[in-house]
Chain A
Amino acid sequence: MSWFDRFKGNTPSPSSQGAPQQDFAGSNAERQAEWESALHHHRLPAFVKQRLSDASSGKLPWISTMTPAELAQTHRYKVRPIAMVSGTCWYHYGYSWTNGHTAGWHQALKRMQQEAVAAGANAIVDVRMRKINLHVGASMDFTVMGTAIRVEGLPPNPEPVVATVTALEFMRLLEADIVPTGIAIGAHYEWLNSYSWANLDAKGGWINQPLTELGNFWERVRRKALLQLRQDTQRDGNGVLAHTHFGELLKVEEQNAARYLGRHIVIGTVVDSKRYGAVPHDIRHVVDMCDGTSPMLEERQHGHNAYDTNQEEGSI
């Protein structure tokens, strides 16, 4: 007897199609209607709310992206995982691809926070930014997911803190009085028209020369994106650790002229910390004797896939 027989209570023949997995809500049509009205009214469908509050009260098992090491550490600090929460927004770029990224991520974050509120959480840790490998015209999906956690003895937070760091790092940061509080996005794009065509492209093939106008233009685009990042940061904290930079400079040829499109997106983790605070930990120097790639030196997988390619073949 295989274990899924427990759901069915009979022995499947080898040709059995297998028992369907259980889930909560009713028919496809009912679910669709619930989702539609939920997204329209900026709330959660009743069955999602129920599941999250059941997980919060312990009626359902908790779900966590944490590793066992993180679980052990969070226990020490009386932090409990509640549920995995996510937010999605599929966004169509009309007039601006760049601004679409800002709007899309913000909407997804808002929705994830909604789920965390339903779970009675204080914070969401291990938040990853994802996208799905499905191309539909000029649009893209923005997905964030993470683990909602509760700190024992604290009342639920109406605006749960969003931390893109793992639970382990979250704890280390809290000890040092640094609170990762959210995600900030800075995005800017501009067009450069080539009225003064000569200044944009190289004058001749023989001379070394900086392309000043184009260079200035590109610098301006980046600076404005960073400025927006700074402004976005102010909502949640007093610092930002920008981990993702994405920039593109495109040349669009038209009849006799060319236009350039510069776009730049910066995304970072917002932190709220006291200036000049001390770090309570001592750091030990160790010599790592591992040959080849050591786990200590290995590049950490952060789990974001929004600005690189998705894995496909061989995935589970």
Chain B
Amino acid sequence: MSDGTAIPQHALERLKGLRSEGHPGGIFTSDFSVNEFLLVRKAGFEPVGLCVGSCIYHLGIQYSSWSQNQEMNVLSQAMYHARELAMSRMRSEAESMGADGIVGVELTVKRMEWDDKILEFIAIGTGVVHAKGHPGYKGHNGKPFTSDLSGQDFWTLLQAGYRPLEMVMGSCVYHVAHQGMFKALGNVGNNTELTNFSQALYDAREIAMERMQHEATAVKAEGVVGVDLHEGSHNWQPHIIEFFAVGTAVTPITTERDASTIPDPQLVLSVNN
């Protein structure tokens, strides 16, 4: 675990039992659908077990100036740190299972009823191993790769000649300035842009994007697929918004596949509806 404490012995034993090598009776757990399971196998991988990481985090307090656009660094850092802790716990669970990586990672944030400063961050995904023990699919620095791609997307990504490295993310919690009274009065009756608001959204989105891109650079990725930018407010004041960019950093599989070998998809029309 990231903070240096060990995973409890009985958990380790449970985890060891999951790896089918030497444990013919080993059982795997996974939240795959049947189709996902099939496609992950088709890609040459076997699920070993569900990997979970969770982190209950207390968000620090930061006051924003009413009329200023600014990043809420304390909150940005908290949101990032908490997700990172959840992810690294999930990853160390995967490592102890001997998994090569985790696919279908879902990241969720939950509020706690009794205190709006406390959030629970959960990362959950299925640890997989290469069926023939190919060592080339691990993530950066030989750690298990992580990816929020579904089993289907995982297969397709390998078909496209790429392998996942790491889920990369960028978080920026931003305070959007309130508008002064004079400014507001001046705009009555006009159709006009409120540039300070535009500016705030631009800046926040840009920061989230930059940070994600930096993470991708750090793991030596060629690019990031499946990126989405989420805007969320976790029980904060209405003018405080989190911009969260997340995607899967990928790298080409040794030599890039010749594009002409990628099969042309067929157009189909489902006729039973």
Does any Cβ of A come within 8 Å of B56's Cβ? no
Which residues does chain B contribute within 8 Å of A103, judged by CB atoms?
191, 193
Check B91–A3 contact: CB distance below 8 A. yes
Which residues does chain A contribute within 8 Å of B249, judged by CB atoms?
61
Does any Cβ of A come within 8 Å of B254's Cβ? no
Does any Cβ of B come within 8 Å of A211's Cβ? no
Check A141–B3 contact: CB distance below 8 A. no
Check A1–B224 contact: CB distance below 8 A. no
For A303, the closest partner residue in chain B by CB is: B228
Check A67–B226 contact: CB distance below 8 A. yes
Check A141–B198 contact: CB distance below 8 A. yes
Does any Cβ of B come within 8 Å of A96's Cβ? yes
Query: Which of A61, A134, A284 is close to B241, meaning CB atoms less than 8 Å apart?
Result: A134
Does any Cβ of A come within 8 Å of B126's Cβ? no
216-251 of chain A: CB within 8 A of chain B: none
Known A-B contacts A61-B221, A65-B228; the reply to A287 vs B238 at CB < 8 A is no
Query: Interface code A136-163, partner B: CB below 8 Å = 1, 0 otherwise?
Result: 1101010101000000000000000000
Check A312–B233 contact: CB distance below 8 A. yes
Known A-B contacts A18-B81, A94-B187, A141-B198; the reply to A67 vs B193 at CB < 8 A is no
Check A92–B201 contact: CB distance below 8 A. no
Which residues does chain A contribute within 8 Å of B98, judged by CB atoms?
none
For A286, the closest partner residue in chain B by CB is: B268
Does any Cβ of A come within 8 Å of B184's Cβ? yes
Which residues does chain A contribute within 8 Å of B108, judged by CB atoms?
314, 316
For A141, the closest partner residue in chain B by CB is: B201
Chain A nearest CB, measured from B182 CB (Å):
14
Check A61–B223 contact: CB distance below 8 A. yes
Which residues does chain A contribute within 8 Å of B157, judged by CB atoms?
68, 71-72
Interface size on B, residues (CB 8 A): 102
Check B199–A39 contact: CB distance below 8 A. yes
Does any Cβ of B come within 8 Å of A214's Cβ? no
Which residues does chain A contribute within 8 Å of B109, judged by CB atoms?
314-316
Known A-B contacts A31-B203, A61-B222, A69-B153; the reply to A94 vs B262 at CB < 8 A is no
Query: Interface code A280-300, partner B: CB below 8 Å = 1, 0 otherwise?
Result: 011111111000001011000
Check A81–B223 contact: CB distance below 8 A. yes
Check B262–A75 contact: CB distance below 8 A. yes
Query: Interface code B218-254, partner A: CB below 8 Å = 1, 0 otherwise?
Result: 1001111111111111000011010010110100000
Check A51–B210 contact: CB distance below 8 A. yes
Q: Pick from A9-17, A177-185, A194-202, A267-275 the stretch touching chain B.
A: A9-17
Known A-B contacts A72-B159, A95-B189, A134-B239; the reply to A23 vs B260 at CB < 8 A is no
Query: Which of B197, B262, B269 is close to A286, meaning CB atoms less than 8 Å apart?
Result: B269
Does any Cβ of B come within 8 Å of A57's Cβ? no
Query: Which of A13, A71, A89, A133 is close to B3, meaning CB atoms less than 8 Å apart?
Result: A13
Interface centre among B154, B194, B223 (most CB of A within 10 A): B223
Interface centre among B153, B193, B218, B257 (most CB of A within 10 A): B193
Check A6–B218 contact: CB distance below 8 A. yes
For B229, the closest partner residue in chain A by CB is: A145
Query: Interface code B59-72, partner A: CB below 8 Å = 1, 0 otherwise?
Result: 01000000001110
Chain B nearest CB, measured from A67 CB (Å):
6
Does any Cβ of B come within 8 Å of A252's Cβ? no
Does any Cβ of B come within 8 Å of A7's Cβ? yes
Check B192–A94 contact: CB distance below 8 A. yes
Query: Which of B60, B189, B232, B266 is close to A315, meaning CB atoms less than 8 Å apart?
Result: B232
Which residues does chain B contribute within 8 Å of A86, judged by CB atoms?
202, 205, 229
Interface centre among A17, A95, A315 (most CB of B within 10 A): A315
Which residues does chain B contribute within 8 Å of A28, judged by CB atoms?
69-71
Cα A91 to Cα B217 with chains together (Å): 36
Known A-B contacts A88-B205, A90-B193; the reply to A286 vs B239 at CB < 8 A is no
Interface centre among A13, A21, A86, A103 (most CB of B within 10 A): A21
Check A64–B224 contact: CB distance below 8 A. yes
Chain B nearest CB, measured from A116 CB (Å):
14
Q: Would you list the 10 A-B pairs with minimal beta carbon distance, nearest first? A: A18-B81, A90-B197, A72-B160, A68-B157, A2-B2, A2-B88, A62-B223, A94-B190, A14-B3, A21-B211
Known A24-B210, A75-B161, A76-B264; 8 more pairs at CB < 8 Å: A1-B2, A14-B3, A21-B171, A36-B195, A63-B216, A71-B225, A92-B193, A312-B232
Q: Mark A residues whose CB is within 8 Å of B.
A: 1-4, 6-7, 11-14, 16-24, 28, 31-32, 35-36, 39-40, 47-48, 51, 55, 60-69, 71-73, 75-76, 78, 81, 84, 86, 88-96, 99-100, 103-104, 107, 130, 132-137, 139, 141, 143, 145, 172, 281-288, 294, 296-297, 310, 312-316
Write 13 A-B pairs (CB below 8 A) sorted by A numbering: A2-B91, A4-B88, A12-B3, A20-B76, A21-B171, A28-B69, A35-B202, A63-B224, A63-B247, A92-B187, A134-B241, A141-B197, A287-B272
